[in-house]
Amino acid sequence: MRVSPAIACFLAWAFSQTAFAQAPRPDQAAFRTLYKELVETNTTLSVGSCTLASERMAAHLKAAGYTDQDITLFSVPEHPKDGGLVAVLKGTDSKAKPLLLLAHLDVVEAKRADWTRDPFTLIEENGFYYARGASDDKAMAAIFTDTMVRLHAEPRARRTIKLALTCGEETTGAFNGAEWLSKNRRELIDAGFALNEGGGGRLDADGKPLALAMQVSEKTYQDYVLEARNPGGHSSMPRPDNAIYELSTALGKVQAFRFPVHLNPVTKAFFEKQAALVPPSLGQAMTAIAANPNDKLAETVLSRDPMLNSTLRTTCVATLIEGGHAQNALPQRATANVNCRIAPGESTEDVRKVLAGVVDDPAVTVTLKVAHGPVGQPAPLDPAVFRPAEALAAEMFPGLQIIPVMSTGASDSIFLSAAGIPSYGVPGILYEADGGGVHGLNEHIRVSSLMKGRDYLYRLVKVYAAAP
């Protein structure tokens, strides 16, 4: 088919405009270089090094003009590879409380044999970045580091801005940099409030933006041990008090038990705002439960969804089991790990007592494993935090509401809140409907979501830092 010169000229112009639109801005190209270096620095607990990642991010900050006095690299002798970084950009008003940017550097383990691509090489494919940590949480760590680089070249804001990159968020029982800073170097991270992961937003299966989220609360993570003991004996002579059977009966009771609905201002606001964004039958249940937490019909409807059920209440579930010592012997011992995600305002000991009451068997003990952290305390629904985020979202994400959420998982914000620093999981980065492989195989993030989230968070930090 022959094409007229006019059409050919138009097509050439259109192609050039498309290519121009897709070409990264110079600042985006510089960010990608930083992001790629961070993602490709292995920070798994087994063989990686957060200390090395911190040193590499410090190098970017120093290249931007930060001095040794502005940067603190920290670690402890017992965990030399689990170090972190705190950087400070001083503001013009020494009386204004600083703003803290927090992100974790460590990532979940990833086996090359299981992945389609090398998990520790950043690969761009079909509009996505693939790699372990591409989303959780090196996207935010890179954005915050990049923001500090960009702000150093600009006139100083009113508030001091602090950056903390830490290790240990992904592994229970590992050295946790955020916890260590809050207990040992509180002055380094002292702030009026902090920005962290846990918020963001969601895309539908077709990549259409659905909503933005501001995390203002999270549950407390805690494990409990259920244990049955018995003298045991020869398997040819069974006895009624079998440790495995006793434990099994206890676990069946835990499975059947449902903690009561426990809403707080955050989850109440979540259901009120989310109601308009879901199918009517679900929305009606959300509106009803927000108005009356004792509405049993609404509770039944919402409890069918695992995420909404976890938002309603404390949840406990068996995750590990072990029992017996030989194939031809009666079990002398059987144990199970029960993992609980505890609603804010409930203590770990209160939950232990509830579980013990549910089990209701003197032959089965319920004990608290080592406490993993403080009890979660919601951050206030502060207009000084929400209004700037909402105003910027109206400009950059028109039509999307910012919904306050309680994380049913866990983040390092819990250590900051315990230290008296309210922490907010900020919106901006929109994540895939299927979770994007976070903690699983072929973790990925949409390039456009990362870049737009970067712009949003950079501008949001500037607004907060300039606020009176």
Q: Is the pTM of this model over 0.85?
A: yes
Residue 2 has pLDDT above 70, yes or no: no
Alpha carbon 402 to its chain centroid, in Å, reads: 17
pLDDT at residue number 22: 61
Three-class DSSP category at 199 = strand
Closest to 138 (Cα-Cα) out of 90, 97, 103:
103
pLDDT tens digits, one per residue of 264-278: 999 999 999 999 989
Q: Are strands 161-166 and 99-104 parallel, antiparallel or unpaired?
A: parallel
Instruction: Let me know: does 260 contact 313? Beta carbons within 8 Å.
Output: yes
Question: How far apart are alpha carbons 166 and 212 in whole angstroms?
Answer: 25
pLDDT at residue number 370: 79
pLDDT at residue number 203: 92
Question: How far apart are alpha carbons 38 and 149 in whole angstroms?
Answer: 15
Closest to 99 (Cα-Cα) out of 48, 144, 153:
144
Question: How far apart are alpha carbons 366 and 361 in whole angstroms?
Answer: 10
User: Which pLDDT band, with edges at 50, 70 and 90, does 178 fall under?
Assistant: very high
Instruction: Let me know: does 193 contact 413? Beta carbons within 8 Å.
Output: no
Question: How far apart are alpha carbons 434 and 223 in whole angstroms?
Answer: 27
Q: What is the CA radius of gyration of the chain?
A: 25
pLDDT at residue number 371: 72
Residue 13 has pLDDT above 80, yes or no: no
Q: Are strands 71-76 and 79-89 parallel, antiparallel or unpaired?
A: antiparallel
pLDDT at residue number 372: 67
pLDDT tens digits, one per residue of 292-341: 999 999 999 999 999 999 999 999 999 999 999 999 999 999 999 999 99
| Alpha helix (H) residue ranges in 92-134 | none
Which residues are within 8 A (CB) of 114 and not within 5 positions of it... i.e. 6 or more apart?
A: 441
pLDDT > 90 in the chain, percent: 87
Which residues are within 8 A (CB) of 366 and not within 5 positions of it... i.e. 6 or more apart?
A: 224, 225, 226, 352, 355, 356, 359
Residue 19 has pLDDT above 80, yes or no: no
Strand pairing partners for 353? none
Supply the mean pLDDT for the chain: 93
Q: Does the N-terminal peptide bond of residue 137 adopt cis geometry, omega within 30 degrees of 0?
A: yes
Q: Mean of the pLDDT values across residues 61-83? A: 98
Which residues are within 8 A (CB) of 239 and not within 5 positions of it... i.e. 6 or more apart?
A: 233, 330
Q: Are strands 402-407 and 209-218 parallel, antiparallel or unpaired?
A: parallel
- Any idea which residue has 């835990």 for tokens? 254
Instruction: Let me know: does 313 contact 225? Beta carbons within 8 Å.
Output: no
pLDDT tens digits, one per residue of 371-416: 767 776 789 999 999 999 999 999 999 999 999 999 988 899 999 9
